[in-house]
Structure 1
């Protein structure tokens, strides 16, 4: 008897709880250099960030964040990692841990304005230069 394999699933959206979905989506729209969807407005329960690579959804939730995220995003900039980190700081991100090494390897752990962790890795060119 042939074995029937289950269908394959794909991740469509990564959803985050947010106190202010519109504002938090605004931060991530800048980070991912995306345009705000025409149907997103301040005060609504949901706000989206859609790119060809990933869709993020921010959903209204006023609960306090109490622990480290169990899931986070890893960002790979198209330019130097350190330049990206500095730019993210100007947008309101903060550094929570810095694992950059003198040889250029490593990463930086950051938080968005609502304290969701994410990492900034080396660009493809930086990985190539240190491999």
Structure 2
């Protein structure tokens, strides 16, 4: 089996896809425009894309599944700061004073995701 997409319900698929495109640096699929019911953020192979699907109801409970991200160019803390400027918010901060831990954040539609430390931060 091959994992093709991670699908996320959205009130405004295009706006949420724009947020995640800015977060990841991955493009929105050619032809996807504001008002579309489905908008794809295209990941580099073999990573699955992020597919945002319009739903009528707002998010009301904690996600049962979320994505854990590891920054590839920044430290965890630098990445958290960058995401805050893009419109994410901190939900729970699990960082410890001596460095370990992660930050659980919300995207603009309140979907949870985590930012962890890179391997180089974990090993010194």
Q: What TM-score, normalized by structure 2, do the two folds share?
A: 0.94
Question: Does 1:29 find its partner at 2:21?
Answer: yes
Q: Which runs of 4+ in 1 moved over 6 A?
A: none
Unmatched runs of 5 consecutive residues or more in structure 1: 1-8
Q: Structure 1: how far apart are the matches of 2:119 and 2:93?
A: 19
Q: Structure 1: how far apart are the matches of 2:122 and 2:29?
A: 33
Once superposed, what is the RMSD of the aligned Cα atoms?
0.9
Question: Does 1:68 find its partner at 2:74?
Answer: no
Instruction: Pick the structure with greater CA Rg.
Output: 1
Q: How many residues were matched structurally?
A: 121
Per-residue CA deviation, residues 17-64 of structure 1 (Å, 9 max, x unaligned), is 101000000000011111222111000101011112231100011212
Question: Does 1:11 find its partner at 2:3?
Answer: yes
* Deviation larger for 45-54 or 99-108: 45-54
Pick from 45, 49, 56: which aligns with 2:50?
56
Unmatched runs of 5 consecutive residues or more in structure 2: none
